[in-house]
Every structure is written in C-alpha cells, then in structure tokens.
Amino acid sequence: MLKDIVQLGFSSTGILPPHLDVNFPGWLTIPSSSIVFFLSLVLYYISVSGLTYDMVNGPPAYGMETDERGNPRMVTIMKWKINQQYMMEGFSAGFLMLVGGCGIMVMDKSTQMTGPRTQMLLSGMGLAFSLLGFIGTYSFIRIKWPVYLEDMFLQGSH
Amino acid sequence: MSGSVVPVLGRFSVEKQESLLKLSILSISVVLAFSTRLFSVLRFESVIHEFDPYFNYRTTRFLAENGFYSFHNWFDDRAWYPLGRIIGGTIYPGLMVTASTIYHFLNSLNITLDVREVCVFLAPLFSSLTAIMTYLLTSELHSVGAGLCAAGMIAIVPGYISRSVAGSYDNEGIAIFCMLFTYYLWIKSVKTGNIYWAALCSVAYFYMVSSWGGYVFLINIIPLHVLVLMICGRFSHKTYIAYSTVYTLGTLLSMQISFVGFQPVQTSEHMLALGVFGLCQILAFVEYLRANMTQENFNVLFKSLIIIISGIIGVGLGVLTLSGKVAPWTGRFYSLLDPSYAKNNIPIIASVSEHQPTSWSSFYFDLQILTFLFPAGLYYCFSKLTDHNIFIILYGVFAVYFAGVMVRLMLVLAPVMCILSGIAVSSSLSTYMKYLDSSNQQTKSTSKVGKIKQDSSSNTQKEGIAYIFVGMITFFLISYTFHCTWVTSEAYSSPSIVLSARSHDGSRIIFDDFREAYWWLRMNTPEDAKVMSWWDYGYQITAMANRTIIVDNNTWNNTHISRVGQAMASTEDKAYEIMRELDVNYVLVIFGGLTGYSSDDINKFLWMVRIGGSTPEGAHIKEWDYYTPSGEFRVDSEGSQTLLNCMMYKMCYYRFGQVYTEGGKPPGYDRVRNAEIGVKDFELDVLEEAYTSEHWIVRIYKVKDLPNRGSR
C-alpha cells in the first residue's frame, strides 16, 4: 500500500522509481481493547479531576490562611463553592473516584480466579478500594459543603 | 423452573413473576421521576423559572393562540429594538409544538388546563418517559436487569433534574428524551439491519433536531460509531444499511427546520457524517467488487481507486474550507475543542456561568456513586465487546470529556452514566448473587463426595464475600437516593424568580420583587415604552411586562449588547446620548445590596465593561479604569472615580445612602460587597426614579425628555 503510493509519487515526476521495500512500521496496528480501556480510564481521570477547569482558570495548588495565632496554615479544599476547586483537591478526588471504580472491577476479576487464597485477597482488596472511594469522596464533600445532607428531616436553620 | 425456588406469589409462574416485577419497578421509577421534580411547585406555586423558559412560554402562548403558520412566519418587533427578531427562523420549534399539541389535545377532551400549567409540567412528564426509554435502551445494550437499574437511577439523577424540574420549561427537558429515543432506534437498526428501524431512527432524529441545538452531538457520535466499527473490522451489511438510511433520511428531514437550514451540508460540524457516509459507500463497493473479481484484477483496481479518491477528497475538502464554502467550527462548538478560545476571544460566551469548565465537586454533586460505577460499567462493556457496546463506550467517553469542558453538558453525561452504572450494578450483582443461591450449593456438594470439605469451606467463604458485597452495593444505592433527594430539594428547586430566605427568628421571607416590578411596568407605562436593561432580564420583561426591550438572552447581536454595556458604564451625559439614540424610555437595574442577593447588576458590572469595550465605539472604556490603583474592585470611598461616577453605580445606589441595612453598620452598607458605599448624597441629572420594589431588588428609572430650551 505504502509502496504503491511512493512509486506513484516518483513516477509522476518522471524519475524511474527505485526498488524500494517500504512498509508501515510493525508497531502501527489497531490497539487492543485493553489498551483502549486503559486510555479511556486515563481520559476519565483527567476529566473528572477538573483538568480543563485548572487549565482555564488556573487556581493555586492549595490555599493559605492564617489561624488564631498567626501561623500560616494550608487549606486544601475550597469551602462553600461547588464549582471551584484547588488543583490538588481536584486530582485527589478524581483519584478516589477512579479507585472506587477499580474496586468493583477487581471484585469481578476475583470471581474468575481459582484458588481460595487469591480469591480472598482480591475480594478483600476490591472491597477496600470501593469503600475507600465512597468514604473518601463523602468526607471531601462534607468538608467542602458543611451542610451536606443536613436538614434532611429536620427544619433547622443554616 | 426449579422446584426449590419458592414462588413468592403463590400460583404465579416465574415468567409472570418476572413481568410483574418489571412492571412494578418501571411504574415506581416513572412515578418517582415525576414526583421528585415537584419540590418548587409545592413550596411556591406553579410558576415558570429562570430566564430562557419565559421566552419559550411566550412563544408557546403565541403558537397556541395563533396557529402554526403565523408562528412560523412571526417577526417580533418587541425585542432587540430597533432591529427586531425573526422568531420563526431562529428557534428550535419542537418544544413549543409539543406543548401546544398536548394543550390542544387536553382541551379537546375538555380538560381545560391553561398553557402555563402544560408548560410547567411538561418537563417532569418527559422525564418519566425518559426513564422508560432508558430501560428500553439498556435492555437492548445489555440485559433486562441492567435496564431496570438504569431506569431507577435516571429517574432521580441530579444532573438531569437540574434542567427538568417542574417550571424549568426549556429545550433540554424534551431533548434528552428525544436523544435516548434516537439512540434506542439506532441500536435496534444496527442490531437488525432493517430499513424499518433505520427509517424510524431518522424520524426520531428529526424530532431531536427540532428540539435542541445539541443534536450536533448525535450527528457526530453516530458516524463516529460507524467509523470505529470499520476500523475494528466489524463493518457488516447491517451497519451499512442502517447508516445509509439514517444519514440520508435524517439529513433531509433535519433541513426542514428553518433554523438548521443548509447547515448540514455547509458547516464543519456535519462534515464527519458526510465523510463517513462516503466511506461506507466505498467500503461496500469494494466488498462487492472483491466478491465478483479475480484477486489480481481486484488488487490493481483497489489500489488505484483508493489513491485517486483520497486525493480528490483531500484536495476538494481543502479547497472548500480555504475558500470559505464550508464554514469552520463556530464559536460555541469550537470552545469545546479549545477551552481557552472563548475566554480570550468571545466574552459573551465566557461570561455565561453554565459555559465554565467543570470541577470535581460538580461531578460528585450531580452524580455521586455513578462516578465510581461508570469505570466499572466501561470494564463490563469492554470485556464483552459487541457492535452496540462500542456505541455506548464511545458515547460515554466523549460525554465525560465534554462534560469536563462545560458544566452545561453534564446533562448529556447523566444518561450514559446511568446506563453504564446500571450495567455495572446488574452484572456485578448477578455474578455474586449466584453464590447466595442455595439450590446451586446443594447440587454441587452432592456431586463430588471427595472434595466436600474444600468445596463447602470455599463455598461459605464465597457466600460471606457475596453477602458483604451485596450489602455494600445496597448501602451505596440507598445513599444515592438520599443524596439525590437532598440535592434536588436544596439546590435545584429554586424558581429564581421568587427568592426566599430565613430571617433570624427562623421564619421564611419571600422576595417576590421581580414579578412585582414587572407587573408595575405592565400597568403603569405606555404600551410602546422601550425598556433598557442588561440582557439577562430581556425574556422576563417581554413575557411578563409585555414591553419592548433593547437586548435579550438570545445574544445574537454583540454590537447591540455592547452599546447597552457602554451606556451602563459611561457617565450620565454620554449614556444619555446612547439612550436617546436607542429611544429608551425606562431603564431597569437589579440591585441586591439591601437583601444580600448576590446575582445583581453590580456583580455583573465587569462583564458589562468588558463587553462594552469590545467594539470600536466603546474603545474609550477600559476595564482597569474601574479598579482601584491596587487592582481591586471596590464600591466604597476607595473605589475608582470612573466607577463611582458611572450610570450603573448611580442607578443602583440612588437614595441608598440613607438606608440602614444591618444592625451595627453605618447607613448605605452594601450587604453583598460588604462595604459602605463611597458616594452617598447625589442627584440624578437625566433619569428620575420611577419605581423601586419592596426590597430594593428591582429599580426602574424613567429617562427624562430633552429640556425645553437650549442647554441644560
């Protein structure tokens, strides 16, 4: 295919085409489904951590505030603003979401393994990952929006 | 049908139990989808929310009263004075036609609902239909269990609720239903290869085009799906029949909408579909030739054809794009590919808060556990790749990317998140529930006597893990429902035309200032009065006050909006010239300093300055003149003199210097900017105050006529 294009190119200029053995390189093939899956997970991580937001608005990696005694303290999570974030906060939260998803994938893989020890280990890992993802993101959102899930049944004021 | 499964309902067979379960789950999802969107109707009243829905409501009223032909040929002279707006040719009519059809149908049955009620409740009705459509789509893609799961999830997902509450009468309310309907028919036609399904898919695509500008997403995902099938070597005659039918009929039908016109053959956004259509024909022709010729003849013909045709296409497309016949990607869609384009070049697109990129918390707020189940769903789809699974994978991945670029597109992501999460939950639960099925274990242990001990211990181990896993998934789903209900109730159910707050003793105060002021305008100004305000409020003023306005939310004319911005940002004399030029009689501003309402015009003022300074007539308006020397935007005595003398400042703070707003603070304390205003005692030269609403949120000023004698 490539050989014919090159020969056509040469012959159109009037030069005798040389004896070439040109081919597409061996590694240029359609990627396997695992590679495409991995790439789509990477794209998912990038989008969910808010990389586009970071690129356009350029927030700092973390914020600084001074406490009562005048010492500067690091603020990692921007409070009271649902559509704004610090960069580190975005990447950590995206990672937690990805880990939660991987937990369920690992739990499914563990059923395909033989041998009770491997199964036990893998399912334990999967459960831990999923719970970590869920509890982690829940804690983040509680810090970010302190009245999250309050006022559900009581008519309090905030 | 095994004897050890005890039928739950006595004499019913398993199939009947299954259908009963399916029907009850679907009916619960449908009722849930409708009822969870009714928070604002129960708390306030059935009123249309926000800004854009007021325009849709006004056009629907016109259509219901005057019929389709006068609606299609409508030229509106009460907006964008003195330019006017061709409404028939610049809207997507699907929403209005749907609402007025339902209105006429109900009235023909003598159920006399008003047009407003139909408009308010149309979006919840279509959400219920969306739940059913998600069930159908997911059961085609995977299994019935996944379908039921996805239907339950999409009934309450906050990302969809935010644009489809009762009262939010906007295009997205029906567009998501049309989109899923088109996808369902597309999957059906790819699976069966029937022209019947493909033709139905084109009709559904026509309905989608008539309802929302986001149809461009569909006309790019479907060809992309066909292209990926070609690359993976899965291109079959079924795909060929499906795509050829859908593309030809769909494009012809989509060009029937006046707003779309000839765009499907002229703009770059539609070129992928055309290219893939051509490629389909070439591939099918090549297969036909290969079946009917000898190998060497075929090789020669194939290679020469490829070279010639790709050369023609490449050169042709290049010539057409360079000569301008094929328009390049336009502003809004181009900013999806290059997110910094809008920020640097088109301030109007950049100023809309819905067009900002998304942060992680918006994803979590709108989707909660679906964000973890999405990768798991992708994993299950990748492990069993079929033609239709590839479609949902493509849709999911692209939707996640686009939702990351623009918050508004979270709406397009929500259905695919629900579908993939439904697949994940259903597949993982069915894998693990097998270990909890008691009859399975009995047959296993009686077959292999020698390995009883190992089997039973590993079985109990598996049973334990299965119990924990099922319990965990149940806990996740329960927390999902609590999250969704809380988010709907707290964040997405405010009508924004009526505000409410809690006073210090806990009772609720309702701020109905907007409707009060618009009704004052309607009752106390002459019929042909022209009102100037910032473009956010244009639709509401035409719909409720019924007066002619200068600029509205359509934002099609940047120069006109820039002129209004220059008037707001200049001193009174300069602004008076602009107002005389535009024949303005009244000026309307929104001021939140007394109540603490933060989306007022002073907070939007910098956008007025930027847009006002973006055209040649506004070249003297520079943004940094309005900041203090240290670079802050302040309204107190340290604010810049240009800001303290401009017309917007004077209109917002006229007579505000004598008002006490908070205990312990001096008079004239602005509760939004948290500062005491700089200039308190001033008089207006060219305006006089006409009306200020009860909580000072809307302030209306009358433009004084020219003085009787020469100079002022």
How does pLDDT run across B602-643, given as a tens digit for each residue? Answer: 989 988 998 988 888 888 888 888 888 888 888 888 888 888
pTM: 0.88
Q: Which band of pLDDT confidence, cut at 50, 70 and 90, is reported for residue A15?
A: confident
Residue with tokens 């789903």, as numbered in its chain: B477
| Residues 6 or more apart whose Cβ sits within 8 Å of residue B388 | B140, B141, B187, B190, B191
* Chain A residue with the nearest C-alpha to that of B430: A108
CB contact under 8 A, B372 and A100: yes
* DSSP-H helix ranges across chain A: 2-12, 33-48, 51-57, 87-111, 116-144
Short-list A138, A149, A146, A148, CA closest to A78: A146
CB B563 within 8 A of CB B92: no
Residue with tokens 């597409």, as numbered in its chain: A24
Short-list B327, B699, B237, B260, CA closest to B513: B699
| Two structure tokens written together for B446 | 């009686």
Residues of A in contact with B358 (CB under 8 A): 47, 50, 52-53, 83
Q: Is the peptide bond before B82 cis (omega within 30 degrees of 0)?
A: yes
Q: In angstroms, how far is the first alpha carbon of chain B from the final one? A: 96
In eight-state DSSP terms, residue A31 is: P
Measured in residues, chain A has a length of: 158
CB B418 within 8 A of CB B411: no
User: What SS3 class is residue B371?
Assistant: helix
Chain-centroid distance of CA A4 in Å reads: 43
| Residues 6 or more apart whose Cβ sits within 8 Å of residue B492 | B158, B161, B162, B165
Query: Is the pLDDT score of A100 beyond 90?
Result: yes
| Two structure tokens written together for B363 | 């994803």
Cα–Cα–Cα angle for B674, B675, B681, nearest 5°?
140
CB contact under 8 A, A52 and B468: no
CB contact under 8 A, B358 and A102: no
A34, A41, A89: residue with CB nearest B375: A41
**Distance (Å) from the C-alpha of residue B484 to the closest C-alpha of chain A?**
10
CB contact under 8 A, B356 and A53: yes
User: What SS3 class is residue B209?
Assistant: helix
CB contact under 8 A, A37 and B476: no
- Sign of the dihedral through C-alpha B486, B492, B497, B502: positive
CB contact under 8 A, B232 and A123: no
For residues A78 and A85, give the distance between their C-alpha atoms in angstroms, rounded to a whole number: 6
Residues of A in contact with B363 (CB under 8 A): 48, 50, 97
| Residues 6 or more apart whose Cβ sits within 8 Å of residue B537 | B51, B588, B590
For residues B272 and B190, give the distance between their C-alpha atoms in angstroms, rounded to a whole number: 19
Q: H or E segment at B509?
A: strand B508-511
CB A40 within 8 A of CB A104: no
Q: Which band of pLDDT confidence, cut at 50, 70 and 90, is reported for residue A158?
A: very low
Torsion of CA A127, A129, A130, A131, to 10 degrees: 80
For residues B263 and B303, give the distance between their C-alpha atoms in angstroms, rounded to a whole number: 34
Q: H or E segment at B260?
A: none
pLDDT value of position B590 = 93
pLDDT value of position B633 = 87
pLDDT value of position B707 = 78
pLDDT value of position A157 = 39
CB contact under 8 A, B364 and A53: no
pLDDT value of position A113 = 83
Q: Which band of pLDDT confidence, cut at 50, 70 and 90, is reported for residue A152?
A: low
Q: How far is CA B224 from CA B249, B301, B393, in A?
A: 18, 28, 11
- Side-chain-facing half-sphere of B419: CA atoms under 13 Å: 32
**Distance (Å) from the C-alpha of residue A95 to the closest C-alpha of chain B?**
10
What residues pair up with B542 in beta bridges, in sequence order?
Answer: none
Q: In angstroms, how far is the first alpha carbon of chain A from the final one? A: 70
| Ranges of chain B whose pLDDT falls below 50 | 1-4, 445-452
In eight-state DSSP terms, residue B258 is: T
Residues of A in contact with B483 (CB under 8 A): 149
User: What SS3 class is residue B655?
Assistant: coil
Which amino acid makes up residue B538? G
Residues of B in contact with A12 (CB under 8 A): none
pLDDT value of position A31 = 83
Cα–Cα–Cα angle for B358, B361, B362, nearest 5°?
50
